[in-house]
Amino acid sequence: MSMELDFDEKSYKELMQALEDVSKNCPDYIEKTLKKEGQDFVKAVKKEAKSAVEEHTGNLTKGFRLGSVQNVAGCYTIDFMAEGKKNPHWHLIEKGHEMKIPYTRKGKPRSDGGQITGFVPGRQILRPVLKEWDKEHGKRVEQTLEKLKEDGKL
């Protein structure tokens, strides 16, 4: 998915200057805002995951978590992790997997690793959430900058 933005050089420089000012003047506000955005993103992914999967057993959404806010060369990031100790099979749901019978009828492990009986297609849970999030996130950034201007922090 490609997205083109039409900026003239002056407005681009003004936007970058405003973001740098926010980064220097109120890093705690940026961290607080990023954590809130991350929590909202986790909620959206949980909602999508629950609607995409028919059976609601196990720990599918319990392992979703956020990393700490990191500042790398003036760029603030926060990581979303979907797979961990509580739900180690997230990639199987997201991308799909082969169904295997790993044991013989007598209960012994198969020497070939298992008989493949079919394929379960992936659910693609993150992709639609990210598409929707891209639309909303730009608006939220603009609202945050407007709020900072009103508060006199810019």
Q: Does position 26 have pLDDT exceeding 80, yes or no? A: no
Q: Say which range, 38-42, 109-113, 117-121, has the weakest mean pLDDT.
A: 109-113
DSSP secondary structure letters along 125-153: -HHHHHHHHHHHHHHHHHHHHHHHHHHT-
pLDDT score at 88: 81
pLDDT score at 15: 67
In eight-state DSSP terms, residue 66 is E
**pTM of the entire structure?**
0.71
Residues 6+ apart with CB under 8 A from 133: 41, 44
Q: Does position 78 have pLDDT exceeding 90, yes or no? A: no
Q: What angle do CA 100, 104, 105 make, to 5 degrees?
A: 115
